[in-house]
Structure 1
Amino acid sequence: MWFKNLFFYRFTKPVPFDLDELESRLSEGTFKPCDNQEAMRLGWASPIDQEGAPFVHVCDKYWMICLKKQERILPSSVVTEQVNIKAAEIEAAQHRKVTRKEKSELKELVTQELLPRSFTKTVRHYAYICPKDGYMVLNTSSAKLADELTSHLRNAMGSLPIRVPTLNTAPAALMTAWLSEDDLPPSGFVLNEESELVTGGEEKATVKYKGMAIGKDQLDQNKALGFQVKKQAFTWEEKLSFVLSDDFGVKRVKFLDMMQDKLDDTQAEGAAEKFDAGFAIMALEVDRLLPALLNAFGGEDTSALITDDESAA
């Protein structure tokens, strides 16, 4: 089980629940399909997706969870078309214009009629918690989806004291320096030939480079115009490639041959064993990648974090 994106959260104090409590609370919110009149439903499911499997998949010090989401697919264009048909029928029969309020009521009526007949789309969103080291990783590149999962988990547990890691150096400034060779990236990080630069201010401009080296003269010109790196592709220790954004989101993660060889060497058989082996290999590497990334940007500002000792005091 390898994530394609890494969205990091830091616990601001020791994880306020244990494994048994997490399992119990998630089981109380088991996923159930949408009712006929429901547009969307969220619920917890086993990460392995096997009957009777626990809601928290444990591998060493890591706890994986899975939020299942089902949505009814009802295109707005279909609703609008039906509303217009019904409005036209009323206008023809009553010889008057349909008001805005009436159209709004028609929209609700049409939606109620069409929802039970609509198709559904079901997706699974994965995350794992490392309570020992105080962080959480989500397999998403979307801040909206990250907020959806963490909000649902907070509702289930009653408390979820997390925040996005606070860096001592802004990623945009440092990635710009690396790309323009004003500074060198840390050991283990290699810049790949894919970059996205943007300008600040109200009128933003974007320049993208892919599959080509950017000349220093061109970069200096971009910098003079106020461009900074928003996204930069990297390879890390010949194990992972990814695109890092200026909000510290890690996207398009690809585990390279060295990692695939590790998975093959486990000789895991069956879906459950392969899932467990993949999760273990991924989590151990992310356990090394996260501090490497934090250190690359001058370390993490931990002044607002509460340690175990402070919590016990």
Structure 2
Amino acid sequence: MWFKHLHLYRLHGAPEMPPEALEQALADQASQPLGGTQARRLGWCAPAGRLGSGHYLHELQGHRLLSALRQERLLPASVVREEVEEQVSDIESREGRKLTRKEKTAIKEQVTETLLPQAFIRSQKIDLWWDTRRNLIGINASSRTRAEDVLDLLRETLGSLKVTPLATQALPIRAMTTWLGDPESRPSDLELGDQVELKAKGDDGVLRARQVDLDSDEIQQLLASGRQASKLAVNLAGRLRFILHDDLALKSLRFSDALIEEADHAEDGDDALVRLETDFILMAQALSDDITRLIEWLGGEAETGRDSFPA
């Protein structure tokens, strides 16, 4: 249940929808098996799987848990290319002429449509946390593209959803660079980890370092040369560790042993569904508190333009 990554979004004028109505709306957009020629599909699934008795929504103390299932057929480009080349070669030999680009494209489309039903299907569950009290959404996805796909599904489900990526007054890249270069600037309950990514202002590329002392002279010399921290491993109050990215994404989340032990020792009566909900609420409360603290460290939340929201 514990999230590994987090892309954060601010809701503006969140739609009023009671849990019962939201449950039905999610069920109406539930995941369905891929059709024979469908390349991919996204729909809602039960966060607890079969244990949840088909419930698409879990809500506890103002925190909502939803899950989307992304299905995608894996059809290697090399397989398509090989079949296309073989068919093109046969036709050109038989007709004694070179095929046009348009004809080759048509063959490629036909080959893809023929091979798709035979392709393996990869399924990926993407969890969404909705803090209804703070009007905040966090999506457990490895990339922002995947997160945006789930937001599009939620927008379609609700009929309207006005969100923007969470933004702060201080740009994360500037704050991370300052924390890295000046220990006195670091908040009292923030500790640096042992990973960093440093970007150059010119064309010198990106330097990545793991398992290093971030207060070392080597790191300080790189900062003095004009490099900036675009990713930085941080530890918040000993409870949450992650890699902070320059777009405010939190990657490689790791929750403290104390929090995991609290979840392990909670009374669940060996009920897997109760266990999932216990893990979720403990995680959601920790994330909510620590994200609030992070926003404060970054100068507070930035105002965002509201004229460009998708409806």
TM-score (norm 1): 0.92
SS of residue matched to 1:124: strand
Within 2, Cα distance between the matches of 1:32 and 1:303? 36
The one-letter code matched in structure 2 to 1:286 is L
SS of residue matched to 2:49: coil
SS of residue matched to 1:8: strand
The one-letter code matched in structure 2 to 1:158 is G
Deviations 1:158-190 (A, max 9, x none): 111111122111111111111112643212211
1:261: which partner in 2?
A: 261
SS of residue matched to 1:127: strand
Within 1, Cα distance between the matches of 2:227 and 2:152? 35
Query: How many angstroms does 1:302 deviate by?
Result: 4.6
Task: Quote the sequence identity (%).
Answer: 29
Specify whether residues 214 and 279 from structure 1 end up closer, same or farther in structure 2 by C-alpha distance, changes over 3 A only: closer
The one-letter code matched in structure 2 to 1:70 is Q
Answer whether contact 2:69 2:125 (CA < 8 A) is retained: yes
1:157: which partner in 2?
A: 158
SS of residue matched to 1:91: helix
1:135: which partner in 2?
A: 136
Within 2, Cα distance between the matches of 1:240 and 1:130? 18
1:246: which partner in 2?
A: 246
Query: More deviation in 261-270 or 72-81?
Result: 261-270
The one-letter code matched in structure 1 to 2:238 is E
Query: How many angstroms does 1:220 deviate by?
Result: 4.3
Matched, 1:103 2:104: yes
Query: How many angstroms does 1:108 deviate by?
Result: 0.9
Query: How many angstroms does 1:250 deviate by?
Result: 0.4
Matched, 1:28 2:28: yes
Query: Which stretches in structure 1 are left out of the alignment for 5+ residues?
Result: 306-313
TM-score (norm 2): 0.92
How many correspondences in the alignment?
304
Answer whether contact 1:141 1:249 (CA < 8 A) is retained: no
Query: How many angstroms does 1:42 deviate by?
Result: 1.2
Within 2, Cα distance between the matches of 1:14 and 1:72? 34
2:211: which partner in 1?
A: 211
Answer whether contact 2:63 2:284 (CA < 8 A) is retained: yes
Query: How many angstroms does 1:21 deviate by?
Result: 2.7
The one-letter code matched in structure 1 to 2:172 is P
1:1-313 equivalence runs, <5 A? 1-50=1-50, 52-181=53-182, 183-201=184-202, 203=203, 205-214=205-214, 217-268=217-268, 269-302=270-303
Within 2, Cα distance between the matches of 1:16 and 1:223? 48
Within 2, Cα distance between the matches of 1:246 and 1:282? 23
Within 2, Cα distance between the matches of 1:45 and 1:216? 47
Specify whether residues 88 and 14 from structure 1 end up closer, same or farther in structure 2 by C-alpha distance, changes over 3 A only: closer
Answer whether contact 1:191 1:235 (CA < 8 A) is retained: yes
Answer whether contact 2:167 2:248 (CA < 8 A) is retained: no
Query: More deviation in 66-75 or 179-188?
Result: 179-188
Query: How many angstroms does 1:303 deviate by?
Result: 7.4
Specify whether residues 52 and 228 from structure 1 end up closer, same or farther in structure 2 by C-alpha distance, changes over 3 A only: same
Deviations 1:24-52 (A, max 9, x none): 21111111011101111111111111263
Within 2, Cα distance between the matches of 1:80 and 1:303? 45
Answer whether contact 1:198 1:205 (CA < 8 A) is retained: yes
2:309: which partner in 1?
A: none
Deviations 1:94-150 (A, max 9, x none): 111122111101101111111111111111111021112111111013110111000
1:308: which partner in 2?
A: none
Answer whether contact 1:12 1:304 (CA < 8 A) is retained: no
Query: How many angstroms does 1:217 deviate by?
Result: 4.3
Within 2, Cα distance between the matches of 1:299 and 1:204? 32
